[in-house]
């Protein structure tokens, strides 16, 4: 049976056609009936379908007959966006081969090289494939030569497919059977052992573990345990993804499927853990490296009555999103909340949107920040995740921040605007070498803080969408930054506090107060907005009070009557101003988190 199983994944740069190719595979193998077929069938979340991107990896089991022999093909569809690289790395440990998909109109992109590196590190067999060969702008011969040079493979071994028309999909499936090695196991004892590479959660069934069985067999009703915590339970159900869950009596070595555990308590299920039967004597696997948060932001419930609901929601999301981390944070005047770690700005946006849609919550979000290492004037070194944790002005001796190494692939005609953009984001530009006939690769180093400041979107803008980006974490370096606070109606709002470059403090302060002035709703009193940094007010704006026309019903007569009414209105506003308390709606915080167009 093992010799007839092939486990593989599809990896590529974002929007190179992974999900569309998976759709055609499901059609060719008749895994899904024609009447039930739809676009992006493996993208189950509404967010994925609306945005046209894959957010969560999704396994599916297909049956394929080749030369009279029936094969089981287990595919794990992976995301392409750089924020979800951790999903890709987990999928690669559960398969023996990968399809490296490259768009015939765009060629190799920066993220293509990044995912290729992960596949090689995981020891996967790589099948290079050119997609979108039916597109009018397709450059199949040129891309084939480009792939051949960069992968050091025979051009004849590079396949061509169209996810739209289905051309070449049958030949690709046949190549998977031939090129991807079958799973191996030498275990002859009782029970089974499996690697947990993902989770889902059900109100009725608890945690559903997505597993790759590497040894033995796991049956429904077996006593199983999570090795990391030693928690024992009964396997309520085992089965496969086709792509909906279909129960089976057992999962055997080499197979990919699911195990219903019934667990509803947090902290028991861990991605990367080893799921074993009680009769299995094999040791646990080493698991996955813990995902490293890049962006930090605090989430607070709209009212403190929803604190428990927000905690439950984040715990639930954590089961299906192993890269999300959070801990309680009660140090803010906004009340009790959670300091959360994300893999990037898109990851933050997706989590926030899921809280809104799936749990009907409207969290208040602080301005995202990164990790800083601060040495105060007393010589104490502390790690700071949020701007409000920064010591007071004048109490800081040194600040260090994370830097990243960038690889940007672009046509040469965009070199000048990209170089200017890199300068604006405090980058150190390195080598710029010819990558292919019509493209070049730019190497640079940049503070992670600047990468978060909308750099990716600006790069796409100045390059008309032709440039692509990948990055790796570098070392910690001395930073010339300072904390900028925002006061609304003379009250410090921690959610708006930011860490900005000292050289850009005036520009950022002015932009922040102007954006707040446009975003905040008007009140019955004058609202003063101030940006404070370095012990001084850097920028200030005011929102005029709403004004009722108290003299509208008057006509003619003595003007003193109008003056008397206006004076009375003025005194009323002053009384309200003395007791003013500004309520800021949650949508204002969301709008302030998102960067402005062109900035």
Local mean pLDDT, 10-residue blocks, the chain (599 residues): 89 82 88 68 58 70 90 86 70 90 88 84 92 90 89 89 90 94 84 86 84 91 86 90 89 92 78 86 77 82 86 84 80 75 83 87 82 88 83 85 90 92 92 80 92 85 86 89 89 85 91 89 81 91 72 62 72 59 71 57
- Residue 49: predicted pLDDT: 55
- Residue 96: predicted pLDDT: 94
> CB–CB of 406/441 below 8 Å?
no
> CB–CB of 401/395 below 8 Å?
no
Torsion sign across C-alpha atoms 363, 584, 549, 518: negative
The distance of Cα 393 from the centroid of its chain, to the nearest Å, equals 34
Residue 229 and residue 457: Cα distance in Å, rounded?
42
243 SS3 class: coil
β-sheet bridge partners, residue 558: none
Domains and CATH numbers, the chain: 2-179 (3.40.50.300), 192-277 (2.40.30.10), 296-365 (3.30.70.870), 373-478 (3.30.70.240), 483-593 (3.30.70.2570)
Give the 3-state secondary structure percentages of the chain, helix then strand then coil, rounded to 5.
30, 35, 35
Residue 187 and residue 218: Cα distance in Å, rounded?
13
Nearest to 7 by CA among 270, 289, 197: 197
Residue 249 and residue 134: Cα distance in Å, rounded?
43
The tokens for 489 are 């109606």
CA distances from 260 to 122, 207, 225, 237 (A): 28, 6, 12, 5
- Residue 593: predicted pLDDT: 64
Residue 428 and residue 449: Cα distance in Å, rounded?
14
Would strands 250-252 and 428-436 be described as parallel, antiparallel, or unpaired?
Answer: unpaired
Question: Residue 460, class by beta-carbon neighbours within 10 Å (0-12 exposed, 13-18 middle, 19+ buried)?
Answer: middle
Nearest to 368 by CA among 501, 492, 469, 500: 500
Query: Inter-axis angle of helices 85-92 and 110-121, to 10 degrees?
Result: 30
Question: Residue 142, class by beta-carbon neighbours within 10 Å (0-12 exposed, 13-18 middle, 19+ buried)?
Answer: middle
SS3 for 36-78 is HCCCCCCCCCHHHHHHCCCCCCEEEEEEEEECCEEEEEEEEEC
Q: Give the DSSP H or E segment for 43.
A: none
> CB–CB of 573/545 below 8 Å?
yes
- Residue 129: predicted pLDDT: 94
> CB–CB of 118/89 below 8 Å?
yes
Q: How is residue 183 annotated by DSSP?
A: P
What pTM value is reported for the model? 0.75
């Amino acid at each position: 049976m093992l010799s007839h199983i092939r486990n593989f994944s599809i990896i590529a740069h974002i929007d190179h056609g992974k999900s569309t190719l998976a759709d055609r595979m499901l059609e060719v193998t008749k895994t899904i009936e024609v009447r039930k077929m739809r676009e992006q069938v493996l993208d189950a979340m509404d967010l994925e379908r609306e945005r046209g991107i894959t957010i969560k990896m999704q396994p599916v089991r297909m049956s394929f007959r080749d030369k009279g022999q029936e094969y089981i093909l287990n595919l794990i569809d992976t995301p392409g966006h750089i924020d979800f690289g951790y999903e890709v790395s987990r999928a690669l440990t559960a398969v023996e081969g990968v399809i490296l998909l490259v768009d015939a109109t765009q060629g190799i992109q920066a993220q293509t090289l990044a995912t290729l590196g992960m596949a090689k590190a995981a020891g996967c067999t790589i099948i290079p494939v050119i997609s979108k060969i039916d597109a009018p702008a397709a450059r199949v011969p040129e891309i084939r030569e480009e792939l051949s040079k960069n992968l050091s493979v025979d051009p004849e071994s590079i396949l061509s497919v169209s996810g739209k028309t289905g051309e070449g999909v049958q030949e690709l499936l046949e190549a998977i059977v031939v090129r991807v090695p079958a799973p191996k196991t030498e275990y002859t004892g009782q029970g089974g052992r499996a690697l947990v590479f993902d989770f889902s959660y059900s109100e009725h069934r608890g945690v559903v573990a997505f597993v790759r069985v590497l040894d033995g067999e796991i049956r429904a009703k077996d006593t199983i345990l999570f090795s990391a915590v030693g928690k024992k339970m009964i396997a309520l159900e085992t089965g496969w993804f086709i792509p909906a869950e279909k129960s089976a009596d057992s999962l055997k070595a080499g197979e990919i499927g699911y195990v219903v555990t019934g667990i509803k308590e947090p902290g028991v299920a861990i991605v990367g853990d080893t799921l074993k039967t009680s009769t299995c004597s094999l040791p646990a696997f080493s698991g996955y490296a813990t995902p490293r948060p890049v962006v930090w932001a605090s989430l607070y419930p709209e009212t403190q009555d929803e604190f428990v609901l927000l905690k439950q929601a984040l715990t639930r999301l954590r089961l299906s999103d192993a890269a999300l981390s959070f801990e309680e944070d009660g140090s803010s005047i906004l009340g009790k909340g959670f300091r959360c770690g994300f893999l990037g700005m898109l990851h933050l946006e997706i989590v926030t949107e899921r809280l809104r849609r799936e749990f009907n919550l409207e969290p208040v979000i602080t301005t995202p920040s990164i990790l800083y290492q601060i040495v105060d004037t007393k010589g104490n070194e502390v790690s700071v995740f949020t701007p409000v944790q920064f010591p007071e002005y004048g109490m800081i001796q040194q600040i260090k921040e994370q830097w990243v190494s960038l690889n940007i692939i672009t046509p040469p005609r965009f070199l000048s605007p990209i170089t200017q953009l890199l300068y604006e984001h405090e980058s150190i530009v390195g080598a710029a070498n010819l990558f292919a006939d019509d493209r070049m690769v730019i190497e640079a180093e940049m503070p992670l803080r600047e990468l978060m400041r909308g750099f990716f979107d600006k790069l796409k803008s100045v390059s008309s969408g032709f440039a692509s980006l990948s990055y790796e974490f570098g070392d910690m370096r001395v930073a010339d930054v300072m904390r900028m606070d925002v006061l609304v109606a003379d009250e410090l709002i921690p959610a708006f506090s930011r860490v900005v470059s000292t050289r850009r403090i005036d520009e950022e302060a002015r932009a922040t107060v102007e954006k707040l002035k446009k975003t905040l709703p008007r009140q019955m009193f004058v609202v003063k907005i101030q940006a404070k940094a370095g012990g001084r007010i850097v920028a200030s704006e005011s929102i005029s009070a709403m004004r009722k026309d108290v003299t509208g019903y008057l006509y003619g007569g003595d003007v003193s009557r109008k003056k008397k009414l206006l004076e009375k209105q003025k005194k009323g506003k002053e009384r309200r101003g003395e007791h003013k308390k500004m309520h800021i709606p949650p949508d204002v915080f969301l709008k302030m988190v998102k960067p402005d167009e062109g900035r």
